[in-house]
Chains A and B, each alone.
Chain A
Amino acid sequence: MNLTDTLKNISNVVENDSNLTEELRENIIDLIAEVNTDPTPANLRVLSTVLEKLKDSTKYLSALKTFSSFESANLSI
């Protein structure tokens, strides 16, 4: 898979990620588009740094979501 395809896939995943706010989603998609237009090593490093942190944070948020689901599960009883 080449870089453009990789970026397109990441962009699609971000677009469908309901854990993110609308503004954050748009900013990430904009960032991916900008880097895709000008994929210098330095620009790619910015994107890879951001995506690594997004990955870590998404895991973290997923964990929090699991724990907070106790609340909704309880309310639905």
Chain B
Amino acid sequence: MAEAVTAPISVAPEARAVRAGGAIGGVPELAKFKLSEWFKTAKTEVARRIGLTKAEAKIKGNEQADPKIGELGVKVIKGIGDLVEKRGDYLETSAYNRSTRATDHERKLQALREKPVEVAKKAAEYDIANTTLQMLDLPGRVGPGALSRIEQARELAQRVIDTGSEKWHGFWAERDNRVAERDLDTAVKYGEGAKATHDFADKFEAILGSKDRVSELKKSTTILKDEVDQTTAVKEKLAGQFKEVLTTGADIGKGGAEQIKQQDVAEIKQQEQILKEAQLGVTKAGTK
């Protein structure tokens, strides 16, 4: 005999809207499609969008750099690429897990609507087994509050089986509904997150394509050409002098004019500025 479920089984309006084809195209099927589309792009193009490929080529093309430093630079760039890809993999897996869970709960809700008593009892049996395992596993690792909640859930599950009461079936229906809504909501957030991340990657592409950036790249090319014209002797002499001058803060524009070309001074200051900006950026990003 099927008993009526007293608690209403409803899905949040926003989740319904998304499922019907809202902001990200619905959860889970269309959302999956959107996620898949983005992650495909992320895996193959994020490195390019951030400019890692160009950076690697730039380092390899810098023939005047110490080979060991060039090699380390390329190694770091590749390491950054691996890190980005791994993080992308993690997010993709998480997003699909969420989506799958949303689907599972949707099916569970449907089953609950069709056979409330059987499903509630089955869920209760599962919860008893699960909470018993948790109680065996968790002591010593979680506080008494958590154990008490687990014990409470276990007792409630037992009542569902013992009494077959409408009240407890309603409780179970409510609980499943909350979980389903939460998972749908999370799946939506993942979809929105994926979209925002995609936009984020696009911004990098825009930066690379901007006039200022192109101008900066052209400037670097000119400086590189100038450097190639320098003799090895000058370069070796400068290597020691640069460090001394920069670390002591001497006025290289006047005192070292004979030995240090002005263009080198300008460049070293430019590089120092880039380093400072990079430091600022790394610090800011690291604190997020």
Interface residues of A, Cβ cutoff 8 Å to B = 1-4, 6-7, 9-10, 13-14, 16-17, 19-21, 23-24, 27-28, 30-31, 34-36, 38-68, 70-71, 74, 77
CB <8 Å contact, B79 and A70: no
- Nearest B-chain residue to A20, judged by Cβ: B83
CB <8 Å contact, B204 and A56: yes
Residue in A16, A21, A31, A49 with the greatest tally of chain B CB atoms within 10 Å: A49
Contacts of B268 in A (CB 8 A): 39, 41, 44
CB <8 Å contact, B55 and A50: yes
Segment of B10-18, B155-163, B187-195 in the binding face: B187-195
CB <8 Å contact, B72 and A40: no
The verdict on B36 contacting chain A, using a C-beta distance below 8 Å, is no
Contacts of B94 in A (CB 8 A): 68, 70-71
CB <8 Å contact, B83 and A57: yes
The verdict on B285 contacting chain A, using a C-beta distance below 8 Å, is yes
CB <8 Å contact, B72 and A30: yes
The verdict on B70 contacting chain A, using a C-beta distance below 8 Å, is yes
Contacts of A44 in B (CB 8 A): 268, 271-272, 275
Segment of B19-27, B113-121, B135-143, B245-253 in the binding face: B245-253
The verdict on B164 contacting chain A, using a C-beta distance below 8 Å, is no
The verdict on B167 contacting chain A, using a C-beta distance below 8 Å, is no
Contacts of A51 in B (CB 8 A): 274-275, 278-279, 282
Contacts of B196 in A (CB 8 A): 63, 67
Q: How many residues of B contact A (CB 8 A)?
A: 71
CB <8 Å contact, A56 and B279: no
Contacts of B197 in A (CB 8 A): 60, 63-64, 67
In angstroms, Cα B275 to Cα A55, docked, is 11
Known interface pairs A27-B76, A39-B246, A65-B87; 16 further A-B residue pairs with C-beta atoms within 8 A, sorted by A's residue number: A6-B276, A10-B279, A24-B79, A24-B83, A36-B243, A42-B65, A42-B66, A47-B69, A50-B59, A52-B281, A53-B51, A53-B80, A58-B286, A67-B91, A68-B91, A77-B182
What 8 A-B pairs come out closest when comparing CB atoms?
A67-B193, A51-B278, A55-B281, A42-B64, A58-B285, A42-B65, A24-B79, A3-B246
CB <8 Å contact, A54 and B274: no
- Given A45-B65, A54-B278, A67-B194, verify A60-B201 contact (CB < 8 Å): yes
Contacts of A38 in B (CB 8 A): 66, 69, 239, 243
Contacts of B69 in A (CB 8 A): 31, 34-35, 38, 43, 46-47
Residue in B64, B76, B200, B272 with the greatest tally of chain A CB atoms within 10 Å: B76
CB <8 Å contact, B288 and A62: yes
8 A-B pairs with C-beta separation under 8 A: A7-B275, A21-B79, A36-B243, A41-B242, A42-B63, A51-B279, A52-B55, A59-B281
